[in-house]
Amino acid sequence: MTTLDDLLTPRSVAIVGASDDPTRIGGRPLSFFKSLGYEGKVYPVNPNRDQVQGIKAYPSLGDISGEIDFVLVAVPAKGVIDVVDAAIAKRAKTVMIFSSGFGEMNEEGQAMQDRLTGMARASGVRIIGPNCLGVFNSAINFYPTFTTTVERKQPKPGGLAIASQSGAYGSHIFYLAHQRGLEMTYWITTGNECDVHVAEAIKLLAEKEDVHAICAYAESIKDGDMLVEGLEIARANRKPVILMKVGRSAVGAEAASSHTASLAGDDKVYDAVLRQAGCYRARTTEEALDIAYAARPRIYPTGKRLGLVTVSGGGGVLMADAAEDYGLDVAAMPKDAQAIMKELVPFAAPRNPVDVTAQFFNDMTLVPKFTRLMLEQGNYDALIGFWTSVAGSPTISPKLRAGLVEAMAGGDRKLFIQSLVATPEICKQYEDEGFPCFEDPSRAVATMAALMHFGMAFQKGRAQTPDVPELPPLPEGAIGEKQAKEILAGFGLPVVEDTLATTAEEAIEAARKAGGPVALKIASPDILHKTEVGGVALGLEGEDEVRMAFNEMMTRVRTAKPDAKIDGAIVSPMIEDGVDCILGSKLDPVFGPIVMFGLGGIFTEIMGDVSLRRAPVSEATALEMIDELKGRALFEGARGAKPVDKARIAKAISQLSIFAAAHAGVADSIEMNPLRVLEDRCVALDALIVKRS
């Protein structure tokens, strides 16, 4: 098993293609090792020079007598394979390849890159890159990178770690994080990811004790299982993972995939899977860094109850608006605590947001009084204070800070974000006392929401998933509706009872048994869209109607689809009432089978009101899926309907997810659509199983 130390804490490093010019790609790392003080052994490899930047050089890796942990490759693409061969021969642990001209270039390059993948797998050597900008471990001053950013901003060791597929963007994030005063020990860019990819980097960082928060950037995920594994390790270790998975949009996804030549995957699936695994998906770089910054005190509120205190009514309203946007609970202060506040400041609005007015700055003894009342009586999970630029003044700032520190002493350690306009120096004084500072109050609220997400995800822990049994294989060939229903019913899923009729008389007999109006649907493994070929007739009553419908349907369908194998027609009872839902699963190229539940038809197709999860899910998780729907009110008795038994739906969702997981290798998509949900039962009126092509 590779550890982060194997990759980033080598005792010796060789630079193949080392340049004497410290501004060139092959020269910069050597220059950094020297100037920034890496203490391991450094071996420049350059067949044309005895010395490189004043250090003894070797003609080839093989000429080095000592052990080499880390080989940095900065030679043109065509020479890379030979260098990696030599590195394997020298039993290097890690090879990092700067060189471009691989998968990002053309098919020939991709073939070379695939060969590198094979070499890594076969030998056990770990390869970072190719087309990679480098990594660093600032704790040992190890800077094998050609980004100029570390010249301009030398990292300070500390708890934030960055993993980025893109080198340029990874440098950019590092630069901005440094500018915000964030300390970073580890920085990893993975480039074309022939072997080590961002998902593994996240996992390795999550396992490492001196990493406290991970900020990652990815255009694609090579291994969905490993990503989830890494995220769950991070959750278990209480480390927030802030992931920028870009390519959310159609154009963005296309740009990302042309950039990294990788499969996009469904963006909504990313959203769902990342949330499920406790990760926070940031939409902008600024948002990601806001969260990384505010995570520094390592306090993650375990609920959404937010207390707001302000010297400006306007600031309070703005924060309350933002809190609602993010689904936070701006609960009111208890009445008696409000009365105490009113006694202290008659002009105060003590509900929440608590508006203490400018009186706060006139009488600083109010600061700890109000804050303690909010912490002790308001029972908030966290607080945000809005103080304007007045709090940034050198005379007022120290008094405010002292009051806040006094208020927080004693009680539980809670997060209190300060929104004020101040110089970086004054902000730092607040930060040193454990108070993150934000100029914009709405950004403070957005960041708070993210930290609450982490707090609740850490508390909740990894979701239990049901065991996936070994199931009998799916039948050969295409699976028709009737067969699909039988297979699903055989696994305990609720599907309507129906009968295959091969003649009109059989259809009439089946209708009689059903004992009410029936539906007739064409039975053919070759026809997926029955309505389009006239293969559906609804609400048939009486012998004559059924006979005519059967005969006409056979004629219509044979005309429309002369080559289709037709087994007959399926006769099923009409179920008029209830809410139409869709329950299904789809094989995602990154994360495997994804179970989906939503309201039927228009809601799913036009409103996109569906819940997704990685299969399998427990019934408890399935209940969460139901409650995520905007249209959930329909299950709770909206519009005069009777509330339905959600547990029954949850059981069906969980069962279907287990079925999908059991057939992950074979089934592409499974659908129970519509799944008719009634007061006391739910039942699929139609079903579909499509196998992978």
Q: Which of 316, 403, 436, 584 binds a copy of itself (CB under 8 A)?
A: 316
Task: With beta carbons less than 8 A apart as the criterion, state whether 267 and 322 touch.
Answer: no
CA 417 to chain CA mean position, Å: 25
Instruction: Report the nearest approach of a copy of itself to the CB of residue 504 (Å).
Output: 27
Question: Pick from 24, 41, 115, 172: which binds a copy of itself (CB under 8 A)?
Answer: 172
**CA separation for the pair 255, 259 (Å, rounded):** 6
> Which one of 13-21, 37-45, 70-78, 161-169 is the stretch in contact with a copy of itself (CB under 8 A)?
161-169
Q: How far is CA 683 from CA 161, 270, 493, 619, 678, in A?
A: 49, 29, 8, 17, 8
**Interaction of residue 324 with a copy of itself, rule CB under 8 A:** yes
CB of 318 to a copy of itself, least distance (A): 5
User: Least distance to a copy of itself from the beta carbon of 214, Å?
Assistant: 17
Number of residues this chain uses to bind a copy of itself (CB under 8 A):
79
Is 607 a binding residue for a copy of itself by CB under 8 A? The answer is: yes
For a copy of itself, the binding residues in 546-605 under the rule CB under 8 A are 601-603, 605
| Contact stretch for a copy of itself (CB under 8 A) within 311-319, 487-495, 502-510, 585-593 | 311-319
Q: What are phi and psi of 350, to 5 degrees?
A: -95, 10
In the complex, the smallest distance separating the C-beta of residue 81 from a copy of itself, rounded to whole angstroms, is 22
- Output 228 or 282, the one with its CB closest to a copy of itself: 282
Type of residue numbered 348: A
Judged by CB under 8 A, which of 56, 91, 413, 630 binds a copy of itself? Answer: 630
Cα→Cα distances 558→532, 536, 573, Å:
13, 14, 25
d(CA 663, CA 132): 38
CA distance 367 to 356: 9
Nearer to a copy of itself, 174 or 659 (CB): 174
Residue partners of 54: CB distance under 8 A and separation at least 6? 34
Considering the rule CB under 8 A, would residue 315 count as an interface residue with a copy of itself?
yes
- Site for a copy of itself contains 283 (CB under 8 A): yes
Question: For strand 306-310 and strand 382-388, is the pairing parallel, antiparallel, or unpaired?
Answer: parallel
- Complex with a copy of itself: residue 509 or 580, whichever CB lies closer: 580
Shortest distance (Å) from residue 52 CB to a copy of itself: 23
Task: Cite the beta strand spans of 258-301 per DSSP E.
Answer: 280-281
Cβ closest to a copy of itself, residue 335 vs residue 639? 639
Measure Cα distances from 440 to 126, 307, 574 in Å.
44, 17, 58
Burial (CB < 10 A; 0-12, 13-18, 19+), residue 470, is exposed
Least distance in Å: CB of 124 to a copy of itself? 31
Residue with smaller CB distance to a copy of itself, 121 or 347: 347
User: Which residues inside 411-470 make contact with a copy of itself, applying CB under 8 A?
Assistant: 421, 439-443
Q: Is 627 in the site for a copy of itself (CB under 8 A)?
A: no
CB of 287 to a copy of itself, least distance (A): 8
In the block, tokens 């440098």 appear at: 171
Which string of x and - marks every residue 119-158 that binds a copy of itself (by CB under 8 A)? -----------------------------xx--x------
633 binds a copy of itself (CB under 8 A): yes
Cα angle vertex 526, ends 520, 528, to 5°?
60
Contact flag: residue 343 with a copy of itself (CB under 8 A): no
| Smallest distance from a copy of itself to CB 286, Å | 4
Q: How far apart, in Å, do the first and last CA atoms of the chain sit?
A: 35
Per-residue contact flags (x/-) with a copy of itself for residues 221 to 250, judged by CB under 8 A:
-----------------------x-xxxxx
Q: Across the strands, what pairs with 213?
A: 160
State the Cα–Cα distance between residues 71 and 188, nearest whole angstrom. Answer: 16
Q: Applying CB under 8 A, does 256 fall inside the site for a copy of itself?
A: yes
Near a copy of itself by CB under 8 A: residue from 404, 634, 688, 689: 634
- Which residue number, 249 or 502, has a Cβ lying nearer to a copy of itself? 249
| Alpha helical stretches, state H, 345-440 | 359-362, 366-376, 396-408, 424-432
Give, as ranges, the residues between 348 and 407 that touch a copy of itself (CB under 8 A).
349, 351-353, 355, 358, 388-390, 393
Handedness of CA 541, 542, 545, 546 (dihedral sign): positive
* Interface residue with a copy of itself, options 72, 202, 322, 518 (CB under 8 A): 322
Residue 219 near a copy of itself by CB under 8 A: yes
CB count in 10 Å sphere of residue 392 = 18
Distance CA 643, CA 633 (A): 9
Instruction: List binders of a copy of itself among 65-104 (CB under 8 A).
Output: none
The dihedral through the CA atoms of 243, 248, 253, 256 has a sign that is negative
Nearer to a copy of itself, 213 or 579 (CB): 579
C-beta of 566: minimal distance to a copy of itself in Å?
22
Decide: is 321 part of the binding site for a copy of itself (CB under 8 A): yes
Q: Does 538 sit near a copy of itself (CB under 8 A)?
A: no
Please identify which residue in 81, 89, 111, 168 interacts with a copy of itself, judged by CB under 8 A: 168
Token pair for residue 345? 């400041």
How far apart are alpha carbons 118 and 322 in whole angstroms?
50
- The DSSP-derived string for 207-228 is H-TT--EEEEEES--S-HHHHH
Backbone angles phi, psi at 416, to 5 degrees: -135, 105
Helices (H) and strands (E) in the chain, counts: 24, 28
Per CB under 8 A, which region of 309-317, 542-550, 552-560, 611-619 contacts a copy of itself?
Answer: 309-317
Nearest CA to 492 out of 655, 648, 647 is that of 655
